[in-house]
Chain A
Amino acid sequence: MNTTKGKVLNRYHVIFLAQSIMIGTGILSLPQKLSPMGYTQSFMPLLFGVIASLTLFAMVWLCSKFPNDDLFRMNEILLGKWLGKFINLLVIIQFIVFSAGIISNYMHLIQSTALQEQTITMPVLCFLLLLIYIVSGGIKSIARFCIMTFFITIGLFYFTRWAIEKGDPSHFLPLFNFTPKEFYEALKQGYFSILGYELILFYFPYIIDQKKAFRHSLIGIWISIFLCFITTAISVMYYSEWQLKNVEFSVLNLFKAGEFTFIERIDIIGITLWVFLILSSITAYVWCAKRGMDTFLKKKKQSYQLYIIALIIFFIVKMPFSREFQEKLFMASNYVGYVLVSWPVFLILIYVIRKKQVQV
């Protein structure tokens, strides 16, 4: 396996990195998150796509000014050494908590649907071992894993066909039937589901064809957006508004609509395959956190940071705090994710102001 020296990511890697990181547990509950808008939600993912494209443009523009540096270096260059380091520390904590949030969410799902009689300690441990293995291969191994994930899991869409058959397309009408308040609620809760593309700020230096990075990432983003759109559209057809609001993992219930005589619960297949999607998003986040930790160390090329990160994640997931505190923590990290998406815009402002001083 190649180690990350110099530029390693070709265009397919870039496309699928952007695509797979975006799809994690978010899409499972996307219809429920968007439910304040009722049936009109089906077109929200397209709007998200537009927002994502705009913010991606800001990110790539910023990166193209620093073609060999990731966000951690940029923070230090633009904000000064100490403030930059402080921000970097926050980013690392954010990534670790965010990953822990995704794992915890997924384990909660497994426990509530598939393995009701087991504790989640063993699954979490196995998961983290796999995580360490993939991340230690570097960003290229993550990118390859993302490509594999896409082709393995895309087949799951077949299982939604019964829901389409049963669904009622008239639910799409009337268009634009929502109040500004409902729209704001849905935007606030739903946008997490497509977070992940912002990691290009960190792997941009490794991209071979940096001039076309924007286009390639955009393709990846729109593949994901399209998948989200299909998901919400099918959910809208299949569910009543009450179900949209109250069924927690609506995608799994879509799978349940399936009618095979020899399989009682197709949703279990869905859940187990979902582990690929979870892994592909978390590995990228953990890799970024590890890169961040590198910047704090004098001696580079150490690998123990990864184990530390894995340990921290394990303790966050298994921490003896109340469920409520955990939920709040993960919620907060989601909102910090929004800050991270808009962070490049802030950095661009600083860059424009301090252009002369920071010319590389």
Chain B
Amino acid sequence: MKNKHLCIISFLIFVLLTGCSKKELKVPLEDVGMVDSMAFDYIDENQMRLTVAIPQYSPDAEKDTQTFSITTDLVSSGIVEIEKQSDKKIVFNQLRVVLVNEDFARKGNVRKIVQHLYRNAEVGNKVLIAVVKDNAEAILKGDYPDKPSINFYLNNLLEPSINTAFNPNTNIHDFMYSITNPVVDTVLPYVEKRGEKLEIKGVAIFKGNQMHELIKPEEALVIQALSGQKNLAPLHLDLNAGHGEEKVMIDLIESSVKKESNKNMESPKLTIFLKIKGTLSEYKGERESHLFTVESISDLEKDVNKQLEQDISEFLARLNKTEVDPAGLSEEFRMYHHGKWTSKKTRELIRKLDVKVHVETSIISTGTLK
């Protein structure tokens, strides 16, 4: 009997309480605009131009991508402004690419905007970051008639692929990791628009929070090799070792690197052992007709070693002079240093650093033709 009353009362309470509930504002999936790409352009110290690209799935729309641009001082207030123009609710769950233009990278605060995205739990870890030449807005708004849409194009371009393995594929975690880590300087791919195509022109190296210089893909490949990347992009070399001018292309490279430091902060010395294993895919030069025997191949290997050692040493010497350390060479010294490590120490160390490079190339095959 008692239970019956209890049941009736609780039933009544539940029915009446529904009146007190708030109407929930849930956005249906069709009304969600998932940002795929964002672009930041530098205006001045306080202002930036924010552009977002959202895929448009409605068959009635003429274009398959919606783009919105706004001039703003904060990322989130820019998004609020964009929501005023948009028919959809802007969310970042599918964000894939963030572009900043070169001016922004050199003068603005890239770290601040990336940190803002890193803080946002909606944003996944697959967001790739790149620096673009001139105007980032123009890239998102450009026409690429033979591509499905700018979002797919950009994302696929920046994703890891073996022929662009010099590309550091910096995602949001890598960026935050390297920019906050005193032993390594950030590297970002550098994209340029050429007519209806985009091209990865090289790699932008940061010094602290600002972009410092642009390096060529060949040099970027060295950074990738030295920071321990296993598979490298095809390596193109110009040899000049007593056989006239020769051109060599080594493909399908597997590399391994070992670094040994003398653990001395005052006169730092670093020896790098780089092992490269690959296929000789193309050769042009004097020795072309002799390259059948094992001996001649091993001769060629020696020449390649010498050339690589020279190139890498020159490149590192240049970097060391400008006190940037994108390959994280100073980590070899931090490992043995007691006390706090600061980026100032990295700069001092890298300026004094004396690097010796040993390269060991082995050409495992020359293809199936004799």
A265 close to B (CB within 8 Å):
yes
Q: Within the complex, what minimum Cβ distance (angstroms) separates B228 from chain A?
A: 8
CB of A242 within 8 A of CB of B181, answer yes
Complex interface bits, A6-41 against B, C-beta within 8 A gives 1, otherwise 0 = 000000000000000000000000000000001000
CB proximity to B under 8 Å, residues A109-126: 112-113, 116-118
Q: How far is the CA of A118 from the CA of B27 in the complex (A)?
A: 12
- Residues in A neighbouring B173, C-beta threshold 8 A: 253, 256-257
Q: Select one of A113, A174, A242, A259 contacting B338, CB under 8 A.
A: A174
Measured between beta carbons, the chain A residues less than 8 angstroms from B93 are 264-265
Q: Please, which residue of chain B has its CB at the minimum distance from the CB of A265?
A: B124
Q: Is B192 an interface residue (CB 8 A)?
A: no
Contact: B337 with A242, CB < 8 Å?
Answer: no
Q: Does B367 contact A (CB under 8 A)?
A: no
Residue from A112, A241, A267 in contact with B181 in the complex, judged by beta carbons closer than 8 Å: A241
Binary contact track A158-187/B, C-beta < 8 Å → 1, others 0: 000000000010100110010000000000
Residue among A168, A177, A242, A264 making CB contact with B124, cutoff 8 Å: A264
Contacts of B94 in A (CB 8 A): 264
- CB nearest neighbor in A for B25: A117
Inter-subunit contact A241/B180 (CB<8 Å): yes
> Is there an interface contact between A174 and B26, defined as CB atoms closer than 8 Å?
no
**Inter-chain contact B337/A174, CB cutoff 8 Å:** yes
Q: Interface residues of B toward A: which range? A: 20 to 34
Query: Quick one: which of B18-53 are within 8 Å of A by CB?
Result: 24-26
Asked if A256 and B125 make an inter-chain contact with CB atoms under 8 angstroms apart, the answer reads: yes
- Please measure, in the bound complex, the distance between the C-alpha atom of A290 and the C-alpha atom of B335, giving whole angstroms: 51
The reply on A95 being an interface residue by CB < 8 A is no
Q: Determine if A272 is an interface residue (Cβ-Cβ < 8 Å).
A: no
Across the two chains, which residue of chain B brings its CB closest to A162? B125
CB neighbours of B122 from chain A (8 A): 116
Contact A170:B335 (CB < 8 A) given known A117-B25, A257-B173, A264-B124 = yes
Does B336 make an interface contact (CB < 8 A)?
yes
CA distance A238 to B176 in the complex (A): 11
- How many residues of chain A get a CB closer than 8 Å to chain B's CBs? 25
- CB-based nearest A residue for B93: A264
Q: Does B193 contact A (CB under 8 A)?
A: no
Contact of B177 with A by CB under 8 A = yes
- B148 CB within 8 Å of chain A: no
Nearest A residue to B181 via CB reads A240
A237-270 interface bits toward B, Cβ cutoff 8 Å, 1 = contact, 0 = none:
0111111000000000100111100001101000
A143 to chain B, nearest CB (A): 32
Contact status A113-B180, CB under 8 Å:
no
Docked complex Cα distance between A239 and B177 (Å): 6
- Within the complex, the shortest CB–CB distance from B210 to chain A, in Å, comes to 18
CB proximity to A under 8 Å, residues B172-192: 173, 176-178, 180-181
Cα(A265)–Cα(B123), bound, Å: 9
The reply to whether A173 and B177 contact each other, CB–CB distance below 8 Å, is no
A259 touches B177 (CB 8 A): no
Shortest distance in angstroms between B196's beta carbon and chain A's nearest beta carbon? Answer: 28
Q: Mark B328-351, 1 if CB is under 8 A from A, else 0.
A: 000110011111100000000000
Q: Give complex CA distance A243, B114 in Å.
A: 13
Complex contacts, A258 vs chain B, CB 8 Å? 125
- A175 — nearest CB in chain B belongs to which residue? B338
For B338, the chain A residues whose CB sits under 8 A away are: 174, 177
| Chain B hits for A170, CB < 8 A | 331-332, 335
Task: Looking at the assembled complex, report how far the CB atom of A161 sits from the nearest CB atom of chain B, in whole angstroms.
Answer: 14
Contact between chains at A174 and B335 (CB < 8 Å): yes
* A113:B181 contact, CB within 8 angstroms: no
With A117-B25, A168-B331, A264-B94 given, is the CB distance from A174 to B181 under 8 Å?
A: no
| B336 in complex: contacting residue of A117, A173, A238, CB < 8 Å | A173
Query: Is residue B126 within 8 Å, beta carbon to beta carbon, of the partner chain?
Result: yes
B25 CB contacts on chain A under 8 angstroms? 117
Tell whether B17 is near chain A: CB-to-CB under 8 Å: no
- Tell me, rounded to whole Å, the shortest Cβ–Cβ distance linking B290 to chain A: 42
Report the bound CA distance from A259 to B124 in whole Å: 10
> Interface 1/0s, chain B 73-97, versus A by CB < 8 A?
0000000000000000000011000
Docked complex Cα distance between A353 and B335 (Å): 52
CB-based contact A174/B336 at 8 Å: yes
B16 at the interface (CB under 8 A from A): no
Pick from B180, B331, B335: contact of A242, CB below 8 A.
B180
Q: How far is the CA of A256 from the CA of B337 in the complex (A)?
A: 31
A259 and B126 contacting across the interface, CB-CB below 8 Å? yes
Interface check B61, CB cutoff 8 A:
no
In the assembled complex, B8 has its CB within 8 A of some CB on chain A: no
The distance in angstroms between the C-alpha atoms of A180 and B63, with both chains bound, is 63
Report yes or no: A257 in contact with B125, Cβ–Cβ below 8 A.
yes
Q: Does B369 lie at the interface of the complex (its beta carbon under 8 Å from any beta carbon of A)?
A: no
Q: Mark B112-144 against chain A: 1 for CB-CB distance below 8 A, else 0.
A: 000000000110111000000000000000000
Identify the closest chain A residue to B178 (Cβ). Answer: A240
Q: Which residues of B have CB within 8 Å of A168?
A: 331
**Contact yes or no, B180 A240, CB < 8 A:** yes
Contact A243/B121 with A168-B331, A173-B335, A174-B335 known, Cβ cut-off 8 Å: no
Q: How far is the CB of B349 from chain A (nearest CB, A)?
A: 15
What's the Cα separation between A264 and B309 when bound, in Å? 42
Interface readout for B143-177 with A: 1 if CB under 8 Å, 0 if not?
00000000000000000000000000000010011
Shortest distance from the beta carbon of A272 to any chain B beta carbon, whole Å: 14
CB–CB A243/B177 < 8 A: yes
B331 to A, closest residue via Cβ: A170
Task: Provide the residues of chain B in CB contact with A117, threshold 8 Å.
Answer: 24-26
In the bound assembly, the distance between CA atoms of A177 and B339 in angstroms comes to 6
For chain B, residues 305 to 347, give those with C-beta under 8 angstroms from any C-beta of chain A.
Answer: 331-332, 335-340
Q: In the complex, what residues of B have CB within 8 A of residue A116's CB? A: 121-122
List A contacts of B177 (CB < 8 A): 238-240, 243
Question: Shortest CB–CB separation between residue A41 and chain B, in angstroms?
Answer: 14
User: How far apart are the CA atoms of A267 and B335 in the complex, in Å?
Assistant: 31
Chain B residue with the shortest CB-CB distance to A264: B124
The interface residues of chain B lying within 8 Å CB-to-CB of A253 are 125, 173
CA distance A221 to B343 in the complex (A): 40
Give Cα A174–Cα B336 distance, bound, in whole angstroms: 5
List the interface of chain B (C-beta within 8 A of A). Answer: 24-26, 93-94, 121-122, 124-126, 173, 176-178, 180-181, 331-332, 335-340
- A sample of 10 cross-chain residue pairs with beta-carbon separation below 8 angstroms, ordered by A number, consists of A117-B26, A238-B177, A240-B177, A240-B178, A242-B181, A243-B176, A256-B173, A264-B93, A264-B126, A265-B124
**Those 10 A-B pairs whose CB atoms lie nearest each other, nearest first:** A242-B180, A240-B181, A173-B335, A113-B121, A256-B125, A240-B180, A240-B177, A177-B338, A170-B335, A264-B124
